Amino acid sequence: MRVIAGKARRIQLVSLEGEAVRPTLDRYKETLFNTIQAYIPDSFFIDVFAGTGSIGIEALSRGARKAVFIENNKKALSVINENLEKTRLKDGAEVIARDAVSALMGFKSDECADVIFIDPPYNRGLETEVLRVLKTSPLVGEDTLIVVEASNETPLDDITDQGYDIVKTKDYRTNRHIFLRRREQ
């Protein structure tokens, strides 16, 4: 696992052993960033269920102004901080050590996020919980792009029933990226 592009390009990132984290494969990460690259320069990026931090770090490397990493696994938090040090991208980062729902509910910001990336453990319905919080969150504006990484078995009607429009989906062998916008209320 490495940083693909930008100022930290080619730096190898530290990962976690075992199943505590499921890092996004480099080829999927490259496809993801090819799709969202126009949103990245000078952006406010939120990486929910951040794991190793590779997605938020990629955003910082490619020019995001700020990246917030939300993670509650202690070993993963240590890896995120180590990867931020290794890539020298710590200045633009904020790491929040809390579960996703409470972190998003309690997050104070005077600006909307440009991109929110959500990569929860698969098939537990956690993306539904997070999207429920984001439905009324001031972090989400009309231009905010929300990207959910989910297993191919994740039902999309649950997402649209919550008031989100699917802009695009990108299917891979076992998972997919779902690109969303919050429907105007």
pLDDT tens, position by position, 142-185:
999 999 999 888 877 778 888 899 999 999 888 899 999 998 76
CA 153 vs CA 45, 150, 173: distances in Å: 27, 8, 11
pLDDT tens track for 7-66: 987 888 888 876 555 666 677 888 899 999 999 999 999 999 999 999 999 999 999 999
| Predicted TM-score (pTM) of this structure | 0.93
To the nearest 10 degrees (0 to 180), the angle between helices 26-36 and 54-61 is 50
Residue spans of alpha helices (H) in the chain: 26-36, 54-61, 74-87, 100-106, 126-134, 156-161
- Run of H or E residues at 115: strand 115-118
Structural domains of the chain in order of their starting residue, each with its CATH number: 41-182 (3.40.50.150)
d(CA 122, CA 24): 12
